[in-house]
Chain A
Amino acid sequence: SYVLTQPPSVSVAPGKTARITCGGNNIGSKSVHWYQQKPGQAPVLVVYDDSDRPSGIPERFSGSNSGNTATLTISRVEAGDEADYYCQVWDSSSDWVFGGGTKLTVL
């Protein structure tokens, strides 16, 4: 089965840039999606197909994907960005797969 690996936590100061990684075997050949989940709320899609943003998502959220690592980048981090972030891919042997999630803490 296909496995996605995320760091459990990332910390960043307000106004700085946060980078959350998602590792997987040859993940660069797949479309990666990223979700933001705040406590008590449903997940929200923030980046799809590696680097596209749904309408309403700030340009501060961006993504990249190459080789064995995909990255969600949040520029000019705000207190309101504090949340859990999950990566996701579709794999022919595993169907939909989520990473374990990364808790973003804004210092």
Chain B
Amino acid sequence: EVQLVESGGGLVQPGGSLRLSCAASGFTFNTYWMHWVRQAPGKGLVWVSRINPDGNTADYADSVKGRFTISRDNARNTLYLQMNTLRAEDAAVYYCARGHRNNPNWFDPWGQGTLVIVSS
């Protein structure tokens, strides 16, 4: 069974940092693009970042560019999101999602999400 399990969320002060992790299992992790998508409470879905299977190509939404860094450890089957200089508007549930086998840019499946709260 394909599983994605996020962790690392929590309460952080504005300007602070947090690293999210996504543990993958049930598939050949190093052959899939991976993504982070976030959802503020009661709001819609917003794509954050993606990374290629080798981990040497990444893209970001403008709203996080220069502050967030996506990475992966294929030996550990784990995806990461390093979030720096956090703002109130970064508060959200962060989902990791796998790119589909037929195209890297739609998402299937999704993890359960991890909640990030940015508040003083």
Partners in one complex: no
